[in-house]
Structure formats: structure tokens, C-alpha cells
A = this chain, B = another copy of it.
Amino acid sequence: MSGDSPPIRLLLADDQALVRGALAALLSLEEDLSVVAEVGRGDEVVAAARRSNPDVALLDVEMPGLDGIAAAAALRTALPTCRVLVVTTFGRPGYLRRAMEAGASGFVVKDTPARQLADAVRRVHAGLRVVDPALAAETLAAGVSPLTDRETEVLRTARGGGTVADLAGALHLSEGTVRNHLSAAIGKTGARNRAEAIRVAEQNGWLLGE
């Protein structure tokens, strides 16, 4: 923090241009931080990082092209020295878990006061981990997704809201199989509906990833 060390180089990834720019403005107020790249899609993160060589990347989870978790994983392998701080709207347990598994160093929800963001960045840059304690507890409580791969896939496809026949067609499965998977998912989520099951799974962040 003594004035003459080079500033921390930041990459910002968020699909909403306005908040992206606003975050850039916010972070640029800090003397020791410098925004060196901004992207609006997950699949542009690695390329931009290669060009600009940031110290810390702030990634949103909900992004077109590639979600922030996957982008974090890709970034970690491409530039292992670059730390990742996930900044997201939704504090879903599964998001946090998967972000950490993907190699993120920090996880911040957009509810947190603006002043804490710069500190989070500095902490992450210093090699520390930044996680909201309450969310961490919730994550432990929620546990890993009980859904099998196929069930997850079926549920994710069902999100669009089609009939069983549609799902069967889209997934190249029999209607009966689709119904079985859905039934299993409904049971495991404790829901009474397909719709409820989708909501539960979504809130827990179980519908992400491949």
C-alpha cells in the first residue's frame, strides 16, 4: 500500500455494459487499482486476459457465450498467475461451490457494499480467499447437487418450458425416460412439480455447467 508499487491490473467481465463501466469507474477511483480490460462475454475472457495480462479478473456468472465459472476454469489454466474473483447477482450455494472448484479465489455478491469491493480485490491479489461467511455456511448446508448428470440435463432443458415430447425430441430420449428422470429430480429436490423442481435446482445453482 505504500504509494510506489505498481497498480493491480484488473480485467472486468460482465454482460451488462452499464454495470461493467460503472464498476470500472468505481475501481478506478482507487490509486492502487487499474482496469486494463473489459469484456461482455464469457468466451472473450481468456483472449482479453492474454492481451492485457491482468493480476485479478472479476467475472460475473451470468454471461453469454460461457458462464463465469467455466470462464474462471479456462482462465486458471491459461494464465495460472491471474487470480479470479467471481462477482455475481445471485448468492446461490452451487455457484460458490463450483466457483471454488474452478479455482476462483473469491466470491462476492452484488449486494455487498461498494466500498468492500476494492478490499476484496486487494485480498484476492494478496493470495487470500474472500468469501461471504453466511453464504459459505449455506453452501455447506445445501451440500452437493443430489441430481445425476442426466437428471440435471433434463431439468435444464425443461427450463425452457416445453412438453415431455419436446424434451424427448431435443435430448433424443424416449418420453418415458424423460418422465422417469423428471420424476426422480422432483423426488430428490423435494418438489411437487416439474416447475418447483426447476426452481429449487436453479436456486441452489445445480443447473450450471456442462
Residues of A within 8 A of B (CB): 15-26, 29, 87, 89, 108-115, 117, 160-163, 191-196, 198-199
Contacts and interface: CB of A to CB of B under 8 A. Distances in A.
A199 B161 contact: yes
A160 B196 CA distance: 8
Contact of A18 (B87, B163, B195): B87
A26 B21 contact: yes
B162 A193 contact: yes
Contacts of A114: 17-18, 20-22, 24-25
Contacts of A161: 191, 193, 195-196, 198-199
How many copies of this chain does one complex carry? Answer: 2
A112 B25 contact: no
Contacts of A193: 161-163
Q: Which of A25, A162, A163 has the most CB of B within 10 A?
A: A25
B22 A26 contact: yes
Contacts of A163: 192-193
A24 B198 CA distance: 36
A15 to B, nearest CB: 8
